[in-house]
Amino acid sequence: MKLCNKCDAYFTPKVSYQIYCSELCRDEATREKIAERYQVTRRQKRLGKVRKCLGGCGVDLSIYNDSGFCSNCNISKKAVDKMLKELKGFIDYEQE
């Protein structure tokens, strides 16, 4: 019996070098590895390049920033407007 590298289930391997219990686990693990390599490659391409925030504030971004916005500009305007509307309703209710 071996332990699956993906789902931690015990299984009987068909060959000595089998590390996943099923094709599904193998395929999911492969997809995750490909996605991880893609992220690393994208970050390596950013090395040495100056990237500025897309929000217009002009802050330099790290190679690890995938969104293109700094932490200050990464707030959704729609979410802020919704929250302000809820607060206004709450404040109006308190004053009555």
pLDDT in tens, 39-79: 889 888 888 889 898 877 888 998 888 888 888 887 776 77
User: What is the predicted pLDDT for the residue at 17?
Assistant: 95
Amino acid type, 84 = L
When pLDDT is averaged across residues 3-29 and rounded to a whole number, the result is 95
What is the span of the domain harbouring residue 2? 1-47
Q: Are residues 25 and 54 in the same domain?
A: no
pLDDT digits (tens, 9 = 90+) for 27-43: 999 999 999 999 889 88
User: What is the predicted pLDDT for the residue at 74?
Assistant: 77
Torsion angle defined by CA atoms of residues 24, 30, 36 and 42, in that order, rounded to the nearest 10 degrees: -130
Q: Are residues 70 and 89 in the same domain?
A: yes
User: What is the predicted pLDDT for the residue at 18?
Assistant: 96
Model confidence pTM above 0.85 = no
| Cα atoms in the 13 Å half-sphere on the side-chain side of 64 | 1
Q: Are residues 43 and 59 in the same domain?
A: no
